[in-house]
A and B are shown apart, each in its own frame.
Chain A
């Protein structure tokens, strides 16, 4: 049960020990903090570099001074970089919001069926869905490009909406299925006694309880679609009319001709900000989505 698994991680463990720590216990406590701090430094290092080098202006950023914080804050790299990224970022937002919402709706319906409204062979069907979560997208990329062309969406941003909705079905279904599985069957039984059909039960009982599930799925789809590079580069091919956050960023940073690392670092940071904000404010739900991906509670 995914709702449980996340709260298990964040469960408050009683820190204050009843008995006073002896010498050995104190040593271990200090050791743990020491180790945790080292791990913290390692985890923070790459983003530290990104942040401090984005406020050193455009031309003043060099690799040899990567770790040295700036003496004065210089945001001059932000303006021009934002100019380049603005359109791709809004475009990304545009398609990511759509694909997340559609995915969540589909996931809720599928999840409800697989959890509470099973049919003969539904477990098997569900398992075949799950396999779709693991496939390397390279294995479907060639025909997918062909399909998009045929369907007439090859030149529009909808190719990305489409891809993220379709290939998001397995994970969204899984998250909702696990979420609904935790809701007691007695609720259904009671409603059935009152003569309610399954559709009405879903609409009037399950949907109102689904807000957290929706938040989890929305965040999950938002993050993965925002950070996606593979679909973006294969399906839009870097057309400027279709460039999204990661492809636009790659054309700034992945370039052999990049001279000004100020732009480069700033662009990296700007593109990361939306997902970081989501993580910062909705980290709990993000964690839930992550753990649901593990199939089992």
Chain B
């Protein structure tokens, strides 16, 4: 209602102030996406194509027949699944441990969150060492720790063998993002009025039931947010894997394969097609989400 009042006074003033940004977004986000789409529909499949023309969906069809692409795609999906579930669980556990308040909370919270401040290129070597596949007497890293704590049977090849590569590769990603998820959940928990809890306690509900029936339902918007954020980060994952395993086949995901297609193969059409595939996978989740957010905000006005 108040917003309307402003409109009456200066209906388009604000528009002119954001116009530069609108133009920038139109050109550099939407225009450039359009350019990439066009590139993906053309025949520039090597560095020296001169006669450029449209080839329809050929590049996309070829992607599906390219075993390396399907390998990278399935790697990415595995990674996404493990990363999202792992992050949700560990972030939720962290927030559950902290949400009622505990002495030293600030310290724990800060250490859980610091990985967000560090570049993955910087953590590459540490994680490569941690996830070294040497075993038993030669073991270093996590395998060594597992032996020391009596879990030697759990020693693993980590990311170097095909079966488990993406499960292992999601560990550093979980390590980095859990704190973020924790913060979101903490904000969610603490946004719930204490009265709700108290009332349930007075009614004799067990702690478990309070979480199950009262607190968690309140957190569903938070869950949704977390899923969207983790999902789009996961689809784009690049430097985390590049920093640990460079372009190794075993951990190849779409973003890395695209890099290779553009620079090693100089196949621009195919690279553009891969980029658009990544974009579409993100868009199908994000666009409905944005519309939903938009609607709920309007409703709250």
Interface of A with B (CB < 8 Å)? 5-6, 8-15, 29, 32-33, 35-36, 39-40, 42-47, 49-50, 63-64, 66-67, 106, 109-110, 112-114, 116-120, 122-123, 125, 127-132, 134-144, 147, 166-167, 169-170, 173, 185, 188-189, 192, 197-199, 223, 226-230, 245-246, 249-250, 253-254, 261, 264-265, 268-269, 271-272, 275-276, 278-279, 283, 286-287, 290-291, 293-297
Q: Provide the B156-190 mask, 1 if CB < 8 A to any CB of A, else 0.
A: 00000000000000001001000110011011001
- Check B276–A268 contact: CB distance below 8 A: no
Partner pick for A142 among B39, B186, B255, CB 8 A cutoff: B39
Q: What 15 new A-B contacts, CB under 8 Å, besides A49-B129, A67-B145, A198-B13?
A: A36-B102, A39-B94, A43-B114, A50-B123, A116-B6, A117-B10, A129-B21, A129-B25, A130-B290, A136-B278, A137-B236, A138-B275, A249-B122, A272-B117, A278-B117
> Given A40-B108, A129-B21 in contact, is the A192-B279 Cβ separation under 8 Å?
no
- Check B186–A8 contact: CB distance below 8 A: yes
- Check B24–A166 contact: CB distance below 8 A: yes
- Check B243–A250 contact: CB distance below 8 A: yes
B239 proximity list for chain A (CB < 8 A): 229-230, 246
Q: How far is the CB of B109 from chain A (nearest CB, A)?
A: 8
- Check A254–B275 contact: CB distance below 8 A: no
CB of B79 within 8 A of chain A?
no
Interface of B with A (CB < 8 Å)? 2-3, 5-7, 9-15, 17-18, 20-22, 24-25, 28-33, 35-36, 39, 90, 93-94, 97-106, 108-127, 129-130, 132, 140-141, 144-145, 172, 175, 179-180, 183-184, 186-187, 190-191, 221, 225-226, 229, 232, 235-236, 238-239, 242-243, 246, 255, 258, 262, 268, 271-272, 274-276, 278-279, 282-283, 286-287, 290-291, 293-294, 296-298
- Check B28–A167 contact: CB distance below 8 A: yes
A261 proximity list for chain B (CB < 8 A): 125
- Check A198–B126 contact: CB distance below 8 A: no
B268 proximity list for chain A (CB < 8 A): 142
Partner pick for B187 among A8, A32, A116, CB 8 A cutoff: A8
> Given A43-B179, A66-B141, A138-B258 in contact, is the A117-B11 Cβ separation under 8 Å?
no
4 closest cross-chain pairs (CB), A and B: A13-B101, A117-B14, A227-B119, A113-B14
Question: Interface residues of B: mostly helix, strand, loop or mixed?
Answer: helix
Q: How far is the CB of A43 from chain B (nearest CB, A)?
A: 5
CB nearest to A250 among chain B residues: B121
Q: How far is the CB of B198 from chain A (nearest CB, A)?
A: 13
- Check A254–B278 contact: CB distance below 8 A: no
A12 proximity list for chain B (CB < 8 A): 101
A275 proximity list for chain B (CB < 8 A): 117-119
Q: Can you name 15 A-B residue pairings with CB atoms under 8 Å?
A: A36-B108, A39-B94, A43-B114, A45-B130, A50-B123, A113-B14, A119-B15, A127-B290, A135-B279, A142-B272, A143-B36, A144-B32, A169-B21, A265-B125, A271-B119
- Check A144–B242 contact: CB distance below 8 A: no
Q: How far is the CB of B248 from chain A (nearest CB, A)?
A: 11
- Check B124–A253 contact: CB distance below 8 A: yes
Partner pick for A169 among B25, B258, B282, CB 8 A cutoff: B25
> Given A135-B33, A140-B32, A229-B239 in contact, is the A49-B108 Cβ separation under 8 Å?
no
> Given A113-B14, A136-B236, A226-B119 in contact, is the A131-B286 Cβ separation under 8 Å?
yes
B114 proximity list for chain A (CB < 8 A): 43, 47, 276, 279
CB nearest to A181 among chain B residues: B297
- Check B11–A140 contact: CB distance below 8 A: no
- Check B183–A290 contact: CB distance below 8 A: yes
B5 proximity list for chain A (CB < 8 A): 189
A36 to B191, CA, bound (A): 22
Partner pick for B130 among A46, A123, A130, A294, CB 8 A cutoff: A46
A49 to B123, CA, bound (A): 10
- Check A113–B17 contact: CB distance below 8 A: yes
